[in-house]
A and B are shown apart, each in its own frame.
Chain A
Amino acid sequence: MGTMNSDAYKMFLQNIEEYVLDEEQIVTYKWLSKNFDIHVNTAKQLLYSFASENKDKVHLTYLICGLLKNGIGGSVKIVREEDVNKIKSEFKRITSEHVYSVQKAKILSDLNILYTVDVKRDTEKDDVKQISSIKCDYPVLRPLEEVAILKRKTQSAAVDTNEKKWPVTKKPNISSTSKGTEDKKQIQEASVSKTVTACNGENNTNKKEQKKGGIAAMFAAQNTKIKQPNDSIKSKTTEAKKPKLENGISAFFSRQVEKPLKTVPKNDSGVSSQSDSQDSPKKMEIDSENTADSNTEVVKDKKLKNRKNSNENSNTEIVQDKKLKNRKDSNENSNTEVVKDKKLENRKDSNEKSNALKKPKNIKQKVSEKKVGRGKTKKASIDEEVPSAKKRKRIVVFSDSEDSEDDGNKEEEEDEGVCYSPAPQPQEPDSDDDVIPPTPDASMKKGRKRIRKLVDKTYMGEDGYMLTRKEYVFESCTESEAEEEKEKENKSKDDSEQTKIEKVSSNVDTKEPPAKKNTKESSKNDTKEPPSKKKKVSPQITKQASIMNFFKKK
């Protein structure tokens, strides 16, 4: 800035020459002003001086301001030097005339490219301030406190939306766990399907059998867990509660495995679920598998303990235990051995759940996300990473998008969790090999579950919030909604029960009731699942339904 001496003047001209002639760039006065930190008017003069010294080598564009001849206002135009005289004839009065840009190219067919010249360079140097001929004497910047206030409004709005969304995520988590149980059930079904159905008896129908098979697998896992219970009675109790919830809400859990894990640890306080769900997404990816594994294991353990402790208390429990035993027996001698081993291991490892999780096979089977122990979940996450690439993939999908999670991941997780769920790390390897064929069935079930998740309207209704993406997905499955609501209620109840149980680990009776509830819920879910699939088949119908819901809500 300031008055320019001849040395600086020559230096500027040399720079311009370098840019224009050597680098063949378009140099505008604005760019010159920014780049050399000189007044815009000086930049215009420099361009003029340079152009008049190199008339043969460069071409100019001028900027002309003035009042038009037709008397209806003024005009600001960029013109090529050849057109200056032509354009001047259109003006009644010219108020400004200066060089706008200098370039080597003779023809700029479209002068609009001059805009891109400045914009590109603007982005390159954001902090450079142009030197304008107009300045504000009064303060222009908003005080930071005021900016914060302006943004606070937005945050509050954002918080609302988050809260709305989170409940949905929680549900999916639950479903993922349930899926895991289902998967396990499927696997077991291949070998012990009949036994399982018989065990489930009360709730299970023919349709339910498959699902029940999954439940049975859960029970089997529980049996194994029962053997293991020594390590963590609390964890078992929590797990037992969780599995029950998972069964009922199995569809939800299957979809969002990761979330259930988080939710489970938070289950102590139902309110915390939202916050958990928020945190969960990132963690879910990594932890979902691990947590799922650990959860399933824990659940099984708890169930086993519960069963052992209160076999007499409820017929259902006894039946389940029998089923589990039958399944184990039927599955393979190795499984039973494994179960025993698992029990032992669980007892020993109760403190070291992480170790059990670390075992890849065990993890897979145990993965049942439903029961993920709070402490175990964290450990489980590490273990999960180790397990199989398949599991990892699934987990990743869940974390990325609920939808994707819902379908494959949840089911897979459920299968794994149910089959291996409680203690049976050793079992898992054996069972995995055996189980592999049945897995496709589980995948089928998974598809159904996914559908259910999509349909869930209940979340919307219960929350009373506007629709979110996730919610829409749930909405698509109209029938599942009721289930979800029930599941939510059950979950809340279960959570409270779980916490109580943990405190009163010795109380077998308390543990049993939740298991019954879970089985019932699972059966309901199973029946409901098929319709949800149908809905998915016809996207238009589902969309319409969602719109209708939207209006109803309003």
Chain B
Amino acid sequence: MIPESVNSVGNLLTVPINGNQSETVYSRSECSYTNLSERFKHEADFTRQFAHIYAVRLDKMRNIILKKAHKKWGADVKVRKLFELAEEESRKCVVIGTLFKHQVLKPSILKEISEENLSSTNLNNSVQLYSLGKNISWPHSHQEPWYVDDTDELILEDELQRIRLIGKLDVHSVVTGVVCAVFGHEEGDGKFIVDDYCWAGLSERISRPLETNEERFVVFLSGLDLANSGDILLPLQLLVDWIGGFLGGTEEQEHQAHVVRVIIAGNSIRGCADHKVPELLNSYKTCDKDTTSVETIKLLDDFIVQLTKSVDVDLMPGEFDPASHMMPQQPLHYCMFPQASLYKTFHGVTNPYECEIGGRRILGTSGQPIDDIAKFSKTSDPLNMLQNTLEWAHLAPTCPDTLSTYPYHKEDPFVISEYPDIYFAGNQPEYQTKLYEGPGGERIRLVCIPAFSKTHSCVVVNLNTLECYPMNFGTYNPTEGELRYLRK
């Protein structure tokens, strides 16, 4: 029964008299930490248009892609801008630009307003809002809204012009906002035949030596959804006790002492939107509605404070948390966590979040970019989408098209200019992971963190080896038949 490597399994099933060996107290491992999320702290400037973000994105990524293009198609390949294509007279060349995906089903505020004026002039506001949501149709196989259609077209834009893309590049595998280089030729009447394409890919290899060879772990969890799921309380308490060194035998506890950080990737308070009919602003109702959130936040505070007593906790906001909704989301405010904020070990961080722990670069989001890509492409596997965003070198290409963001004009904070060692996305339906190996031997651990409310699982990543495994918490309850038998 007892595996060879674990000798202590039964040692707590003994009588605790004289010379008890089990009262060992282990010290929490320490690890260097740098928060690299400064670029996600935005200046709230809404005085500009969103077009600038595409301009700075293309400008920033052009140089990266240029290197990749020369590497792929040879140093002597001609790189042209769109307005220079006419001079090429259908000879092969490379064009670098931003993809735009023309989708018939994509929700458009202009379309909605025009339909609204036609159909429902006399309806009151609430009815209008409700009906607008139902005008959008999508296949039954998708629970989430899905805006993909076979008529979708790809268009490449550079600073001045746009051109339709036809050929090898699959329209359903990409989304609006991706910067890429296409190799091919123009075929008149505004079409460009694509023979090959290339993404920005990983940045050049960066040497990030590990600080020690001692084992250290980071625990990821997301989607606690405390407002809606009461049945996760015991599993969550077990998780907290497990990390805190209460549960398990002495070896288990020694192992847990090497957990240096817990990253909570969003949707801790709420995991899904309220499906109520949208309420008009009303002083009384908003008051009542907030009470559940307040209680939930207090509950979250109760759990987090247990963790912060012995380990660092990074709390990221999620799509449905009471934080700013636009990407990048700003940290949940400390005043919401009166207990946990007393501890140095509690960190409210942004979403997306980037940091370096013990020499390992960690980057990730609470999952909105991945969810948004899923709505506008036929890539159904979250892990593939996560890998795609890494190859596109962009955290959230659909910002600002279909994912709300701030109108950046000096920089695009979502560009992945230095590849991370651990790249995660929170609030995914199931646990998935992959060790992505780049062309230069880069090893990147991709992790889809499952929603804790659905799977009762967290993810443990070994910082040294980048090994990764999920940990499930729960109870083994007898079935109905067994219960009936027991009652007899």
Contact = CB atoms under 8 A, between A and B. Distances in A.
Say whether A associates with B: yes
Interface of A: 1-6, 9, 30, 33, 39-42, 44-46, 48-49, 63, 65, 68, 72-80, 82-83, 86-88, 93-99, 106-107, 109-112, 114-115, 118-119, 130, 132-142, 146-147, 150-151, 153-154, 467, 469-470, 472-473, 540, 543-544, 546-547, 550
Contact of B283 (A6, A86, A472): A472
B118 interface: no
Interface in B457-488: 457, 460, 469-478, 483, 486-487
B249 A97 contact: yes
A79 to B, nearest CB: 4
A97 B10 contact: yes
Q: Which 9 A-B pairs have the closest CB atoms?
A: A134-B245, A96-B248, A469-B283, A45-B16, A111-B475, A73-B470, A115-B234, A41-B22, A96-B249
Interface string B326-350: 0000000111000001111110000
B239 to A, nearest CB: 8
Interface stretch (B68-76, B250-258, B373-381, B419-427): B250-258
Contacts of A136: 27-28, 309-311, 345
Given A40-B246, A65-B252, A76-B471, A134 B9 contact: no
A550 B282 CA distance: 12
A49 B15 contact: yes
Given A133-B26, A135-B310, A79 B475 contact: yes
Interface centre among A80, A88, A132, by most B CB within 10 Å?
A: A132
Contacts of A544: 124-125, 280
B472 A74 contact: yes
Nearest to A155: B335
Contacts of A472: 281-283
B247 interface: yes
B32 to A, nearest CB: 12
Contacts of B25: 39, 132-135
B310 A98 contact: no
A94 B253 CA distance: 14
Contacts of B287: 469
B233 A95 contact: no
Contacts of A46: 16
Nearest to A143: B344
A125 B309 CA distance: 17
Interface string B300-315: 0000000011110000
B382 interface: no
Main secondary structure of the interface of B (DSSP, over half): mixed
Contact of A134 (B28, B282, B486): B28
Contacts of B477: 109-111
Contacts of B309: 136, 140
B28 A107 contact: no
A140 B475 contact: no
A63 B22 contact: no
A4 B20 CA distance: 8
Contacts of B248: 63, 65, 76, 95-96, 98
Given A87-B476, A140-B310, A94 B124 contact: no
Chain B interface residue number, banded: 35 or more
Interface of B: 1-3, 5-6, 9-10, 12-20, 22-28, 30, 124-125, 231, 233-234, 237-239, 241-242, 244-253, 255-257, 280-283, 287, 308-311, 333-335, 341-346, 431, 457, 460, 469-478, 483, 486-487
Contacts of B247: 63, 65, 76, 96
Contacts of B486: 82, 106-107
Contact of B237 (A3, A39, A118, A546): A118
B469 A48 contact: no
B478 A154 contact: no
Contacts of B239: 76
Contacts of B6: 93-95
A526 B342 CA distance: 55
B350 to A, nearest CB: 15
B246 A150 contact: no
B241 A44 contact: no
Interface centre among B16, B478, B483, by most A CB within 10 Å?
A: B16
B246 A130 contact: yes
Contact of B475 (A49, A99, A112): A112
A473 B6 CA distance: 68
A48 B20 CA distance: 14
A41 B17 contact: no
A420 to B, nearest CB: 34
Given A110-B477, A133-B245, A543 B281 contact: yes
Given A97-B12, A473-B283, A42 B475 contact: no
A11 B471 CA distance: 38
A95 B1 CA distance: 11
A132 B124 CA distance: 59
B341 A132 contact: no
Interface centre among A5, A30, A96, A99, by most B CB within 10 Å?
A: A96
Given A75-B472, A76-B238, A544-B124, A134 B17 contact: no
B9 A94 contact: yes
B457 A73 contact: yes
B41 to A, nearest CB: 13
A135 B254 CA distance: 11
B320 to A, nearest CB: 22
A76 B244 CA distance: 14
Given A42-B23, A74-B471, A135 B28 contact: yes
A94 B3 contact: yes
Contacts of A140: 308-310, 343-345
B310 A73 contact: no
Contacts of B311: 136
Contacts of B251: 95-96
A68 B1 CA distance: 14
A188 to B, nearest CB: 36
A80 B486 CA distance: 12
Contacts of B125: 540, 543-544, 547
